[in-house]
Amino acid sequence: MGEGFYVAGTLLDMNRQFGASSEQRDLLRFLTCGSVDDGKSTLIGRLLFEQKLVLDDQMAALARDTRKYRPDDEIDYALLVDGLEAEREQGITIDVAYRYFATPKRSFMVADTPGHEQYTRNMVTGASNAELAVLLVDARKGLTAQTCRHANVVSLLGIRHVVLAVNKIDLVDFNEKGFAAIRDRFSALAEPLNFKSIVAVPISARHGDNVSTRSERTPWYNGPTLLAFLENIEVSDERAAAAFRMPVQAVSRPHANFRGYSGTIASGKLRRGDEVAIAPSLRTTRIERILVGADELDEAFAGDAVTVTLRDEVDVSRGDVLAPPRGLPHIGAQFTAHLIWMGEEHLLPGRAYVLKLATRSIGASVTEIKYRIDVETLAHTAARTLEMNEIGLCNIAVSQPIVFDPYSENHTTGAFILIDRTSNATVAAGMILHGLNRAETVRPQALSVTKTERIRLKGHSPALVWFTGLSGAGKSTIANALEARLNAMGVHTLLLDGDNVRGRLNKDLGFTDVDRVENIRRVGEVARLMLDGGLIVLCAFISPFTAERRMVREMVDEGEFLEVFVDAPLELCIARDPKGLYRRALAGEIRNFTGIDQIYEPPAAPEVVLQSGSGTPGELADFVIAELERRGIIGPQP
């Protein structure tokens, strides 16, 4: 299939194609969404065909493709949009397809998004820059759970105009009552979603009824055709009216006599001479020059990519945000946000992720799931985790204060993604609701006795020796032997054992993934306090997840964390079974037991590996002592 029916490029290219300037016709960005097989791709293909944007050779190719993939079908206009082989074979949309077209009244950029639940993440991508949503519903099926999910996502992403396209109206004999029932039910569903406009249109994307021209087969419908509505809907660009924001993407230093700061203006406008504050430092200065390439401008607007120079020498880095001093964004380390979970593995509160907001990337974790949103009823339900495609309201904490706005005020500085630190996959999209000032009101108390003085008093450096391995591998036994040897050497220690901590500090936690993460997070915080006291802390925990062991490593200073992997085959641990836990787990009496129905992720590069059973506990402990001596944490023994 050729691609000449659209120009994948700039708006300028598109205007050349259709013979109009951007001043003559404005651009409307919209998306199509809805359940699978509701006809999204067919609708876009039909729009392109009816605007005479499909050339003769492309129509011939479309006819051949239809015979190949739909041998019993008429011309399948969906094949104009579905470019992936898997999409054509299955008749579904998997990736987001962007298409440009224009009419004498308006230019359009449409995102065709997938309907399958597993591809909700792609639908979020398509919706992120849209101003209007065309939500398709199969007239035979009515509203589905995916229809409700997409409506909710569209609302969360700030889209305020919706067209409910009741498709395949021909397959229900153009039934007016059926159309009215779907329209009324959606109106009730959408009432709390704060849409500014909702228009329901009965269409047949396959045959063109009410797509570009009014259908004689729906004499009972008095509203606009889909295209007429899209041509005439007034969608204001809220970015222009919002306060000025420019996240700094790069510091430009081509030579010693020039220092500029590059980025795209997210909202508002900027003039030469304007006073700006650099967030989060809040240092103020004025704009000296505004540059686009070699051209110098007097002012720039939302959406413009510019480089600015400043009158004063101030510290500005990537991730900082330029803003007006009397319209500052929020600065904080905690906030509440709606989270759309996209990861195949469920959300684990307390686990460390990477948060990317505008041009800033920083460590973050979900500290609390306040509730999950039922996508069909919009009811709020209690939740300890979020599964793929679920939506929840969560509290987020980042490792350092960042600059943000509520998403309702600024989509660029109010939206973020969460990235898995191991796979680098995007696992969530978030929209900030408001900031939390909990941690910002708490400041560390200055102490007279410092960590350095405690270390000097004890005569050795602090360290966190983290024993990990399967239950029954011998972690606690070896750690106990190590502590006895260190105490005999005059070393100040503290042993935190998994069972002992579970019985006191963490007695409220179970053994689900969520509880295991919280268990390790709490232990890491306690261990960090003990390191401040100058102690060598020994921790013996199964700690099955790599991410949580890394989280604890990053809590402490460089060089203070030693991971000790007590390596024992599962068969050996089952044979030992000192507490009878494996026997009960294999009998189904214990759930979420590591090694049986719970995974264990072995360390990739531990500081010490101990082969369980290769020596006595004391002999194995000596290997750890040797590593502590090699690192200079304790002095060599005579």
Closest CA to 184 of 231, 115, 137, 217: 137
Which residues on adjacent β-strands are paired with residue 426?
A: 419
Q: Is 543 a catalytic residue?
A: yes
Which residue do the tokens 């969520």 mark?
514
What is the 3 state secondary structure string of 472-510? CCCHHHHHHHHHHHHHHCCCCEEEEEHHHHHCCCCCCCC
Tokens of 332: 């904080």
Q: Cα(159)–Cα(201) distance, rounded to whole angstroms?
A: 19
List all residues 6 or more positions away from 465 whose beta carbon is below 8 Å from its beta carbon.
479, 482, 536, 537, 538, 539, 562, 564, 624, 628
Coil, helix or strand at residue 230: helix
In contact, 362 and 402? CB cutoff 8 Å:
yes
Tokens of 27: 């651009």
In contact, 125 and 155? CB cutoff 8 Å:
no
**Main-chain dihedrals φ then ψ at residue 87, nearest 5 degrees:** -65, -40
Q: Cα(354)–Cα(365) distance, rounded to whole angstroms?
A: 8
Q: Cα(420)–Cα(428) distance, rounded to whole angstroms?
A: 9
Report helix angle 120-127 to 145-156, nearest 10: 40
Q: Cα(353)–Cα(624) distance, rounded to whole angstroms?
A: 31
Closest CA to 535 of 468, 424, 451: 451
Burial group, residue 223, by CB count within 10 angstroms (0-12, 13-18, 19+): middle
Q: Cα(574)–Cα(65) distance, rounded to whole angstroms?
A: 59
Closest CA to 202 of 228, 187, 186, 182: 182
Q: Cα(511)–Cα(530) distance, rounded to whole angstroms?
A: 25
The alpha carbon of residue 185 and the mean position of all alpha carbons in its chain are separated, in whole angstroms, by: 31
Q: Cα(430)–Cα(357) distance, rounded to whole angstroms?
A: 9
Q: Cα(79)–Cα(87) distance, rounded to whole angstroms?
A: 9
Which residue do the tokens 């309702």 mark?
408
Report helix angle 475-488 to 617-630, nearest 10: 60
Catalytic residue among 35, 215, 365, 543: 543
CA distances from 404 to 156, 241, 301, 411, 501 (A): 17, 17, 20, 10, 38
What is the phi-psi region of residue 623: left when phi exceeds 0, alpha when psi lies from -120 to 50, beta otherwise?
A: alpha
Q: Cα(236)–Cα(157) distance, rounded to whole angstroms?
A: 16
Coil, helix or strand at residue 319: coil
Active site residues: 543
